Amino acid sequence: VNVGMGTDHTLFALETGAVTFNKKANGRTYVSVNPIAKAAE
């Protein structure tokens, strides 16, 4: 979620946030960027 992939398989964040890596049952690792909550103004 919130991660894009370039033509050379480079991963990049689409949002500012914390990066998490999750390993699923199929043995693959998934990358997500969890957005930082914006402060109320």
pLDDT tens for 5-26 read 999 999 999 999 999 999 999 9
Q: For residue 35, which of 1, 6, 5 has the smallest C-alpha distance?
A: 1
- Dump strand ranges (E) for the chain: 3-5, 11-13, 17-23, 29-35
pLDDT band for position 37 (50/70/90)?
A: confident
Q: Are 16 and 36 in contact (CB under 8 A)?
A: yes
